[in-house]
Amino acid sequence: MGSDEILTINDELESKIWSEKSIDDKVKEKLLMVAEDFFEKLELESGELEDVTFTGSLANYNYTKFSDIDLHLIVDFTKIDENRDLVRDFFSAKTANWNNKHNITIFGYEIEIYIQDTSEDHHSTGVFSLKNNEWVAEPIKIDLNVDTDMVKRKALSFVDMIERAEDLFDDKKFEKSHSFASNLISKIKKFREAGLEDKGEYSNENLAFKYLRNNKYIDELHKIRNDSYDRMMSLGGKYHRKFKIFIDQGPENEKTGFQRLDELGKFQKRVKKHHKRRKRRLIGLGKQKTGKSYPKKPNYRRSKSAPVGYGGS
């Protein structure tokens, strides 16, 4: 993991979207169109769209090719219902469904919608009001001394936990995999929020989260949670019988002490899975379809090891 994977500071704002800190008119019109269409289709009896803001790394100098266009719809939740948490949960479900269903891009950057309460604090140095055509918080390019070692440690500790959730799924321990992944999603969310509240978007916590998101670990974690739930709740094959046995057996007791042979077997198994995962991430993330120049999908299996003593050792 290099430092450039953790934090990128560009000399200028994204030139396809901005020109000397003024947003391109066509981009602004398209983003407003998307936001207003989404909000109108909610068919709310009360409440109004007070503003639409463009925020996140693409409204700042730290954008990368992985960045999203963070489109925030500003709404006074109390005008819809006095229970803010109820309104927030409603909007969260609607935006999650929209974001999963649609893949609308601006110059290759995907739009992601979020509905923000007027009373909600937003921790970002780049916030542009699309309705008022002005900066709410203007981005400032600054030189940062990022503790890359700390960010790496935080990110890689989560990578290890995500891979352990995947191991549970591969071992058909769907109940444990789902619980582990769900708890980890919640933990990562709280971890990031704590960093944003403390030191903002350049906090170690947020930079670690961005590394996980940019390298598809967050997507993988959500997939593990969803797939394990589907398998856990399905009937057919032998899993429903295994699930009944698991329930009858009760919780599994964790072994204490260091048993070298047991630990060596687990370690070798994880090394093998680790290799497979890395190969898949390196060559399997592209969306290119097979064709004349790319006739078949790559083989993700690990190559056979050479015989003992081969090569003169």
- What tens-digit pLDDT sequence spans the chain (313 residues)? 555 566 778 899 999 999 989 999 999 999 999 999 999 999 998 889 999 999 988 999 988 888 889 999 999 999 999 999 999 999 988 998 898 888 999 999 999 999 999 998 776 779 999 999 999 999 988 776 778 888 889 999 999 999 999 999 988 999 999 999 999 999 999 999 998 888 887 888 988 998 898 888 999 999 999 999 999 898 765 554 544 544 444 555 555 554 556 656 655 666 666 655 565 555 555 555 556 665 666 655 555 555 555 555 4
Q: CA 290 to CA 296: how far, in whole Å? A: 6
Whether 155 and 126 share a structural domain: no
Query: Of 192, 219, 249, which marks where a domain is finished?
Result: 249
Number of structural domains in the chain? 2
Q: Are residues 98 and 154 in the same domain?
A: no
Q: Which amino acid is at 296?
A: K
Residues 24 and 123 in one domain: yes
Residues 6+ apart with CB under 8 A from 116: 53, 72, 73, 74, 75, 122
Q: What's the CATH code of the domain at 26?
A: 3.30.460
pLDDT at 278: 60
Q: Are 81 and 187 in a shared domain? A: no
Q: Is the pTM of this model over 0.85?
A: no
43 burial class (0-12, 13-18, 19+ CB within 10 angstroms)?
exposed
Calpha distance 313→310 (Å, rounded): 6
Domain limits at 22?
Answer: 8-137
Assess contact for 165 and 187: CB atoms under 8 A: no
Q: Do 13 and 127 fall within a single domain?
A: yes
Q: Show the beta-strand stretches assigned E in the chain.
A: 18-19, 22-23, 51-55, 69-75, 105-106, 109-117, 127-129, 134-137
Same domain, 20 and 46: yes
Residues 107 and 12 in one domain: yes
Could you tell me if 98 and 200 lie in one domain?
no
Tell me: do 165 and 114 sit in the same domain: no
* 128 lies in the same domain as 154: no
